[in-house]
Structure 1
């Protein structure tokens, strides 16, 4: 499958899932918010957030049964851990994650989400530049 077609299909499916979740549950499908919903209310498997997150976790394995993705990770485990901690810190600091602000918030034309997503992207650009050009990783 051509890379643009798979990107288009992935984006379309993501959009449908996010709009469907909002329409059916009345809540934003940002990952940090969904994880927060796991710890509120009724039984774990009675929460829509559980099923949405389970789908996000299981789908790549199903995809892998049909298509073998080519994934290369050249970063060291310690770099990956530091990156994960920084992303978690940024999620708390920004009152939401890239999926909540970038997909759900921007599609609703939320000014706060547009600013947050712009800052996420700018920070990512600067980080990649520093890591690849100044530190030589």
Structure 2
């Protein structure tokens, strides 16, 4: 399996995520962690809390539609693993988010920007286990 390096698309996406996280912090004083946003939509604490979270999720989901409107083609997504692997990955990520008190976007983007020691440790842990997982899956298991 080959991973295609896309520096310009990655830079653009990173800038948009950083801008969105900054605007959310400036306007509402909230951290933009994707799992926290999602859990607040599932179990909102107030109508206002639900509204901004639902709007943010709608923006995340509508991204491919914006690309379609500009380019005339839907972005292609290639997921080179089976459904059982996706489900196992989802459970592992869910456990990590629960025990790590947040996800990669909350810790890696927002927490690191606020110089949170907990987020620095969490992000380093995410990265170490990501590198190890990719190494094992690609080079040990040969998938």
- TM-score, scaled relative to structure 2: 0.85
| Superposed displacement of residue 84, structure 1 | 0.8
TM-aligned CA distance change 1:107 to 1:33, over 3 Å: same
User: 2:64 touches 2:75 (CA, 8 Å); kept in 1?
Assistant: no
User: 1:45 touches 1:51 (CA, 8 Å); kept in 2?
Assistant: no
TM-aligned CA distance change 1:45 to 1:57, over 3 Å: farther
User: 2:38 touches 2:53 (CA, 8 Å); kept in 1?
Assistant: yes
| Superposed displacement of residue 12, structure 1 | 1.2
Please provide the CA RMSD for this pair: 1.8
Most deviating of 19-28 and 63-72: 63-72
Give the 3-state SS of the residue equivalent to 2:56 in structure 1: helix
Partners of 1:52 and 1:30 in 2: how far apart? Answer: 11
Structure 1 residue ranges, 4+ long, deviating more than 6 angstroms after superposition: none
TM-aligned CA distance change 1:105 to 1:135, over 3 Å: same
- TM-score, scaled relative to structure 1: 0.89
Between Structure 1 and Structure 2, how many residues are aligned? 135
Q: Does 1:12 align with 2:18?
A: no
TM-aligned CA distance change 1:45 to 1:93, over 3 Å: closer
Give the 3-state SS of the residue equivalent to 2:79 in structure 1: coil
